[in-house]
Structure 1
């Protein structure tokens, strides 16, 4: 890959680390601390009081690097809108949790409304500005399926689903940030191979910001990203999939996010229909924890499978370009 990718990756990582060194003490001073849910694994109770809202470092670092390097490509600007918009929505949720000292922030309805508005505006914007066709690309083939105006609800579903899936994955130290590094890196390679470098630069900046954040977020975490980070990263991944027309490929490239979300859906559906639980606890990472795996082992295993899925998906997708 050309040197600019490595430069932007390093810039974003360094700026995030610098912001973290100054920002974590400030979050402690402002008492922006995590409240651990009572029904969660008992081993997580020691994490109560850990600073949260660390996603601010990643978002701020990304903005600094983007504007310092004067990235004004329309696709990048719309992705910034979607990413920062979800970050603000997540920040409101985190702020209420910290202020009320509880694990409940915005209501589900309020959060969903915010996500729908952001997704709708983004979809309208990229269709109008970038001229995206009203069709879905079938992964690993050169086939498209035209869906007409159903394209709008489809894109909205992808964005809302992905942002919530990444949010659900953010439950263990370093899990979501590590998986996001893998997903962003895979998309950066995809953009490089397809010659869409302006978009690739922005994606590698996001990967660098996640890498810098992981410096503080790896077990035992000194700070959590909170919904500020997880919703923003999920929104960014979804937006990238839409702009690159790889919405269905994302199912394979972001396999861990999909499995985490599916585990929650299956658990809720099973309990409501039969009164029985399929997993010891959902999302999926908690099931493995309660099965005797250490937190670090779960994280490394999930990173491995996300990396494997991303690599295989990327290879197959590039072969069929």
Structure 2
């Protein structure tokens, strides 16, 4: 627990300290957010607010993880693998953000290009899991003591689906000030607690660093935001969340702790599907669903607080589900 607090504090301090410098640099380089015309009209006042601000918490997290590994005197493979997965997805986001800025519109990589890159990154992470394994992979069913052994081919397909799905789900959640960071913060705290409980040092260090980095970032990203994380940040967060779930050997725990991510994704799938089936009708005023609530009159702070509150409750429930089978 002491290690987790130290690592969290380092990530927070580094992220908060470099924040103003990162924002000034992004402004100087004219890396501003481009707002879709089909979005909520009041979002147009966010045009040209610096994006790619995820760099500040990425730097803070890297510094904190490095410090944590030095403090423990161990080169933990799982911590490095999780950081590598998140950083690789952050690099995909960087390419996407740069493409948007170059085109001067809110459209970077095509869906196919992004998907191919995400699958390649997931494949590299799964290869690390395979090389570290000493037998068939297992799948724990949350809230039970049931563990299922899977053949590697089936597990590889499952893992790729979960990792890429989680990455895109977190990306979709990043749509209003502080939402992606505010929802992911309790998820990071949950995994840090699980890391302490199960004595997984790498998980503890990385999750604590993630929590500290997000706290520091929210100083500048909470409504009214001075900077956006961009795909650089949101895809990094998606990789981080997925990596933590697999490092804990409990990928299905993402179902409760990532409930908001899932709802956001389902709202888009349902909206698009219903639009095509009905010949142009919509289920929601706008998708992802946080925009629906905006158009119903909810303020951004209210949406963030409620979505983060739901996540906190689900994380508490999930932690109970982890502890109970161990008793």
Q: TM-score range by the shorter chain?
A: over 0.9
Tell me, in whole angstroms, the C-alpha distance in 1 between the residues paired with 2:150 and 2:195: 25
Residue 222 of structure 2 is aligned to residue 223 of structure 1: no
The farther-off stretch of 148-157 and 310-319 is 310-319
Q: Which residue of 2 aligns with 1:29?
A: 28
The two structures have a TM-score, normalised by structure 2, of 0.95
Q: CA deviation at 1:130?
A: 4.5
CA contact (8 A) 1:253 1:314 kept: no
Q: Which residue of 2 aligns with 1:312?
A: 317
- CA deviations on 1:141-175 (whole Å, 9 max, x unpaired) are 11122231210010000110000000000001001
Residue 297 of structure 2 is aligned to residue 292 of structure 1: yes
Q: Which residue of 2 aligns with 1:135?
A: 138
The farther-off stretch of 6-15 and 307-316 is 307-316
Tell me, in whole angstroms, the C-alpha distance in 2 between the residues paired with 1:156 and 1:262: 19
- CA deviations on 1:60-95 (whole Å, 9 max, x unpaired) are 111122223436201011111101100110001011
Residue 108 of structure 2 is aligned to residue 109 of structure 1: no
- CA deviations on 1:248-290 (whole Å, 9 max, x unpaired) are 1111011111111111111111111223211111101011111
Which 5+ residue runs of structure 1 have no aligned equivalent?
Answer: none
RMSD: 1.2
Q: Which residue among 232, 243, 249 is the counterpart of 2:247? A: 243
1:190-201 equivalence runs, <5 A: 190-201=194-205
Q: Which residue among 120, 124, 127 is the counterpart of 2:123? A: 120
Tell me, in whole angstroms, the C-alpha distance in 2 between the residues paired with 1:99 and 1:160: 26
Q: Which residue of 2 aligns with 1:185?
A: 189
Residue 46 of structure 2 is aligned to residue 72 of structure 1: no
Q: State the secondary structure of the residue aligned to 2:148.
A: strand
The two structures have a TM-score, normalised by structure 1, of 0.97
Aligned residues: 320
Tell me, in whole angstroms, the C-alpha distance in 1 between the residues paired with 2:142 and 2:212: 27
Which 5+ residue runs of structure 2 have no aligned equivalent?
Answer: none
Residue 95 of structure 2 is aligned to residue 96 of structure 1: no
Q: CA deviation at 1:131?
A: 4.0
Residue 276 of structure 2 is aligned to residue 277 of structure 1: no
CA contact (8 A) 1:188 1:200 kept: yes
Q: Which residue of 2 aligns with 1:82?
A: 85
Runs of 4+ in 1 over 3 A off after TM superposition: 130-133
C-alpha distance 196-57 of structure 1, shift in aligned 2 (>3 A): same
Residue 265 of structure 2 is aligned to residue 261 of structure 1: yes
Q: Which residue of 2 aligns with 1:45?
A: 44
C-alpha distance 131-106 of structure 1, shift in aligned 2 (>3 A): farther
Tell me, in whole angstroms, the C-alpha distance in 2 between the residues paired with 1:212 and 1:131: 39
Q: CA deviation at 1:26?
A: 0.6
